[in-house]
Structure 1
């Protein structure tokens, strides 16, 4: 039995019936179970076929390849996908590339395909290049400071996005040894439930001091944060900027602050 639970909301910024593919440079079809239903929608299939016929970059991962198969967009093309869709890809005339890693990606001209979300860094990088973009950042080294019970999407999304830009990233967690895959760090870490004030663990403060050269990094800066910590921000000597809307971000010199994921 396959049971799904409600995930995270995201904002729809356009109406499907109003979409004109001529106004877009590329198409991305995420994986999961939704492509199984999208592949049965004639209007969706027709839209995908238009992107494919026009040779605009199309990227699909996991079950997303089912939609490309329905649109007859992978016939004679090399691609990969989630293992259970193997037979569908072959039946659609594709040259399915056998991959051993869940993070593998395959590029065939304007078609970019991936096995699972674990390959998002490479997947995004290939898609940006297919769009004619340039990837920079390979000379940057980024440190992610984590702790137990960190919500997966709050680290995985920025982690993989920065990897796609070519950045070298390390994730560390106080009292934890690097024995697991960093991109999955937040989803696998187990431990004792944090106690009040645990975010002020001495080892955390020590690392922050080394990175920022001062414990009072917010002093004199303008920034935002999750509303619940507004008082903490003000008491630290910072100027509070209301996060309206909640996905607001602000930059003040070397400080980049966001209210929520």
Structure 2
């Protein structure tokens, strides 16, 4: 290959906690092939960095995440000129969750698609393509236990403290086995939450023993478990049946991805983690902005909340639907 000025130019769309390899390998490999690559992130300038995440396949149902490198950007997002680029690369990781609800990003990707420029998205990257309506009638693939620690343990123990019989089930585990939880927190200066290993949560009921008629309410925690569970037909059918019985359903964070996949949000009002807004809207739901962040909402038999900081109101609203109250002497 002859040395000289690059004959092609690629834009790499970045964000905090994009997957480490999925960003760095295209970035450096394409440069090695003689292609100019600009890495840009909305809200950041050239010389600033995005935190990456390292996703490692483990013995659990989902990948395990560790904090990766500080990836230095070489292009200011607000200075991007579409005409100067021949293609777009979108890494996966968790960055696409919030990039997909960023109007500036969606508009840019839509223009790349309209002009017929090559688009390459890996893992969770197609979320951004979907938001930009760039995969309609196109063939594509994507990769979606890791419940959020508080979002499963707080409702579980709170309802037990109220005298409820609470069972925890998972389609891939048997009673007595454990699911690895994750801890989601916001780090100062980051555009989205970080993820760390959490507690091991014990399953109490075999999934094959599940019967919606035996339960008065359903709670769906968030975290990345929802990505996997939303693809399981057994889960989808159970949620459909439960909602069809008009029994209370309380879902928090990313849990609403399961409701969206089950097709039960059409015409319903709900909130979720902001990264799940696209799922809610595309499923026909009416999006309720989680402002303030510790607010949850009720629509008929459905209680939804955005983050674990909503738990007091979230659990209180579920109690009301169940007809449970607390009295003091």
TM-score normalised per structure 1: 0.51
Deviation of 1:75 (Å): 0.9
Residue 92 of structure 1 is aligned with which of 254, 261, 283?
Answer: 283
How far apart are the structure 2 equivalents of 1:20 and 1:136?
A: 32
Which of 243, 254, 264 matches 1:63? 254
Deviation at 1:94, TM superposition (A): 0.5
Structure 1 residue 120 and structure 2 residue 311: aligned? Answer: yes
Write 1 or 2 for the structure with the bigger share of strand. Answer: 2
Q: Retained in 1: the 8 A contact 2:290–2:305?
A: no
SS in 1 for 2:251: strand
Q: Deviations over 1:143-175 (max 9, x none)?
A: xxxxxxxxxxxxxxxxxxxxxxxxxxxxxxxxx
For residues 326 and 231 of structure 2, the distance between their equivalents in structure 1, rounded to whole angstroms, comes to 35
Distance 2:275 2:220 in 1: 17
Q: 1:87: how far off?
A: 1.1
1:19 aligns with 2:210: yes
Q: Which of 281, 301, 304 is equivalent to 1:110?
A: 301
Q: What is the SS of the residue equivalent to 1:112?
A: strand
Compare relative contact order (CA 8 Å, sep 6+) and give the higher one, 1 or 2.
2
CA distance, structure 1, for counterparts of residue 210 and residue 317 of structure 2? 25
Aligned length in residues:
138
Kindly indicate whether residue 132 of structure 2 is the aligned counterpart of residue 132 of structure 1: no
Show structure 1 runs of 4+ deviating over 4 A.
none
Q: 1:74 aligns with which of 262, 265, 289?
A: 265
Conserved 8 A contact 1:128-1:135: no
TM-score (norm 2): 0.41
- The Cα of 1:23 is off from its aligned counterpart by 0.5
RMSD: 1.4
Is there any run of 5+ residues in structure 1 with no aligned partner, and where? 140-261
CA positional deviation for 1:112:
0.1
CA distance in 2, matches of 1:125, 1:96: 21
- Please show how residues 28-39 of structure 1 align to structure 2 within 5 Å: 28-39=219-230
Measured after TM superposition, the shift of residue 17 of structure 1 is: 1.2
Q: State the SS of the aligned residue for 2:298.
A: strand
